[in-house]
Every structure is written in C-alpha cells, then in structure tokens.
Structure 1
Amino acid sequence: MAVEIEHKFLLISDEWRNLVSRSEVVRQGYLSNNPAASVRIRIANDQASLNIKGMTIGIHRPEYEYSIPWQDAVEMLNQLCARPLIEKTRHFLEFAGKTWEIDEFAGENLGLIVAELELTAISEYFQKPTWVGKEVSGIERYYNVSLLTYPYSQWTEAEKTEHADAA
C-alpha cells in the first residue's frame, strides 16, 4: 500500500524564502470527499494527477497518485470539482538533507502559508529549521480538503490570531 508520512508546520519567519530552489503553481479540486477518502485532481505547472488520500488525521495515511492527461485534468477542474478550487504556489527547498515544501495559498485561502515535510518512515529523524514553528499535522482545518469547505478567508479572527500566535 502507498503511504504518505507528512508533517505540516506553521512558519515563524520568511527566512525560508532565500532557500527556495524552485516553485510551481498548483490548482487542485476535489471530485469526492467522504469519511474514508478524498479524491482530487491536481495541475502543477504542466503535470496533472489524480490523487486518492485516506482521511486519517495525523502524519500517516494511505495515498495513491496517478498521472493523467493534462487536458483531462483541466476539464475535470472546470466541470466536475467542487468550489472553491485550492490555489497555491508550492516552493521547494532543501534543509539538512530533506526536501521541504512551502505552500503559499491564494484565492479563498490567501494569507495562509504552511511548510510540509514528507518522510519515508514514521520514526525518521529530521532537523527542524529555525523558520519552522508549531506543528499542525493533526489539526484538520489545515488540510487542503478542509480548506475547500472552510477556507482561510472564513476563519474567525480568533482562529487567524491563533494561527499567527502559534507561528
């Protein structure tokens, strides 16, 4: 079984920006979201994929991803996916031998920035950069699928303050 082991963090500074090696614009939409799994379509630059992800909360969950034709993905995003679409710029950078991904959201989630780190084992060691703050891996509202139904623009001031304070 394909498994995703991912940690998600808030950021406490913009120091990471100087370390970015590449960036890609991402548009993704959800075809299905139920208690067992979410099914999404994603376009990242010129690559398109279908992704099925288990809904387990935390850092470990099943995930399957398949390349699909770019034009099919465009049509599915435009015609079949729930709104709003998730729009973000994903920045890639290396730190202490690991590839970090920083998602800078746009659209309905403008203002939200999170760092993600995928590992190959739950117990795998990683060094936390100084620009990384609170871990939010187990907090549902930070999941992309949750941002679809409860986008950052609709968070209460208390939730946004908690986000800012936690970072």
Structure 2
Amino acid sequence: MAIEIERKYLVHQELLPRLEDGTRMIQGYISMQPSIRFRVIEQDVIITIKNLQKDGSRFEFETIKREVSLAEQEQLFELALFPSIEKVRYRHPYLGLVWEIDVYQRENLGLITADVELPSFDYNIKFPRWINAQREITQDSQYFNVNLGQKPYTKWRSTDE
C-alpha cells in the first residue's frame, strides 16, 4: 500500500533558487471524500485517490492515461466539483530529499509553496534557506489544493496574510 508522509511550507520568495524546467499542470477534483483528483499535464491525465490515515499519513493510489483527447479533458473539467487550479511545479533536490515547488497561476497567482515527501515521521528535515520553516502549512486547510479551487488565494490574501 502506498503511504505518503508529506510536509508543506511557504517559501521566502526572494531567496528561491532559479526555477527551471517546470511542469505545468491543471488540477481538478471529482470527489472530496475520499479525495479523487485529476491532473492534466500536456496530453496526459493522472488520476489520484488519497485518503487521510489516523496517523497523519495518506493512502495514495495513482494511475495515468496517456494522450488524452481535448474532448476527454473537457469532460473531466465539466465533472469537476469546482474550478480547477493551475500551477507550475519545479523539482529541487536538496540533501537527499526532493522539494517540489509549486508556483500557482491564474486565481492563485502570487502563492508559492514547497512540499517534501519524507521517508518517516521522525525524519530530521534539513531546510534549504528559501524554505520558511516557521510557516509550515501542512495542516492549514486554506492552502489545500482542493480549497484553493473553491476560495483562490487572490480572494483572501489581502485580509489573511
């Protein structure tokens, strides 16, 4: 069974390394519980099912369909519970871990987050200087992708940040 132990943080945007070779993705949700999402990356669609476990980890199952037609993609967007989110993801290796930096687009423009998947709960993270270690947002629901589709960052950032 695939289990995910992930931590998510805000970043010091001015300290970010040069971001290159990002992957543009459009993400939508077709179920909240369990979380069932789709990601469109070029002509591929990745379907992911996630479910929170009692210990804070998440069960995760993914499958991919390649060369999905525009008509099929449009059907997915119509099935989505709310507007999709768009982001560009960059992968940045650092001391044995890979940090995924998400630069959000459109209605979430201005938001940049970074997450890292850990090998164990007690793993001692060594933070890159551009990670704001005091701003862990792993459990902050307003930053969940599923919620950014419903209440985008540009709608709350002036009052909440």
TM-score (norm 2): 0.86
Partner in structure 1 of residue 101 of structure 2? 102
Q: 1:97 deviation in Å?
A: 1.8
> Matches of residues 43-122 of structure 1 in structure 2 within 5 Å?
43-55=40-52, 60-71=57-68, 74-122=73-121
Is 1:158 matched with 2:155? Answer: no
Partner in structure 1 of residue 126 of structure 2? 127
Partner in structure 2 of residue 11 of structure 1? 11
Q: 1:53 deviation in Å?
A: 1.1
Partner in structure 2 of residue 38 of structure 1? 35
Partner in structure 1 of residue 142 of structure 2? 141
| Alignment check: 8 A CA contact 2:99 2:116 kept | yes
- Measure, in 1, the Cα distance between the counterparts of 2:56 and 2:103: 20
Gaps of 5+ in 1: 162-167
TM-score (norm 1): 0.83
Runs of 4+ in 1 over 4 A off after TM superposition: 55-59
| CA 27–58 in structure 1, closer or farther in 2 if over 3 Å, else same | farther
Gaps of 5+ in 2: none
| Alignment check: 8 A CA contact 1:21 1:93 kept | no
SS of the residue aligned with 1:14?
helix
Q: 1:56 deviation in Å?
A: 5.8
CA RMSD in angstroms comes to: 2.2
Q: 1:58 deviation in Å?
A: 8.9
SS of the residue aligned with 2:110?
coil
| Alignment check: 8 A CA contact 2:44 2:68 kept | no
- Measure, in 2, the Cα distance between the counterparts of 1:59 and 1:111: 28
| CA 156–91 in structure 1, closer or farther in 2 if over 3 Å, else same | closer
- Measure, in 1, the Cα distance between the counterparts of 2:7 and 2:144: 11
SS of the residue aligned with 2:102?
strand
Spell out, residue by residue over 1:64-104, the C-alpha distance to the aligned partner (whole angstroms, 9 max, x if none).
Answer: 11112441662443331133111000011111121111101
| CA 8–57 in structure 1, closer or farther in 2 if over 3 Å, else same | farther
Aligned length: 157
Between stretches 24-33 and 73-82, larger displacement belongs to 73-82
- Measure, in 2, the Cα distance between the counterparts of 1:55 and 1:115: 20
The sequence identity of aligned pairs, in percent, is 32
